Amino acid sequence: MPLRPDERAALGSPRAPNERVVEVLLVEDNPADARLAKEAWREVAVPHRMRVATNGEDALEVLRCEGVHEGAPRPALVVLDLNLPRMDGRELLERMKGDPELCRIPVVVLTTSDRDLDIRTSYQLQANCYVVKPVGLEPAMRVLSKIAEFWFTVAALP
């Protein structure tokens, strides 16, 4: 399906014909953090589309392409906050990794918690990496850019 002009503008760069657009799901309930991630990833040279879910239940609908997301492409990467309303990130991670359709989607936990228990639990639930959100605009932008750079240009996504 062709992109609308506003969707093309949301991509990190112009898109060549047949070039893959990486679908990213950001699961983040803080609007300021979501805006920051979108802004940081706008600089990435790889075409991508970032959708945002504000809780685990909505994220599961996006991942399963259910409801209003029926027919939409499934995300190739999930960036997940742990502390979410309705269904927290731990439960979402557990459900994803227990679902044969979703278990191969890489999950980057991006959260404010630096608690050892949260880190260990996330890896036990098969998170692909765990990143503590830095404090401050510049450090946050730098970390978000590095996450995008790694997952878009170094790692091979499903």
Q: How much is the average pLDDT of 99-122?
A: 97
Residue 47 in domain: yes
The string of pLDDT tens digits covering residues 54-88 is 999 999 999 999 999 999 999 999 999 999 999 99
Residue 61 in domain: yes
In order of 9, 48, 49, 144, 145, the CA distances from 12 in angstroms are 8, 6, 8, 14, 12
Residue 45, domain CATH: 3.40.50.2300
Residue 157 in domain: no
- pLDDT at 18 (0 to 100): 52
- Supply the pTM of this predicted model: 0.86
Residue 155 in domain: no
Number of structural domains (the chain) is: 1
Residue 95 in domain: yes
- pLDDT at 29 (0 to 100): 96
The string of pLDDT tens digits covering residues 3-43 is 344 443 444 444 444 567 999 999 999 999 999 999 988 88
Residue 143 in domain: yes
Host domain of residue 106: 5-148
Residue 51 in domain: yes
Residue 43 in domain: yes
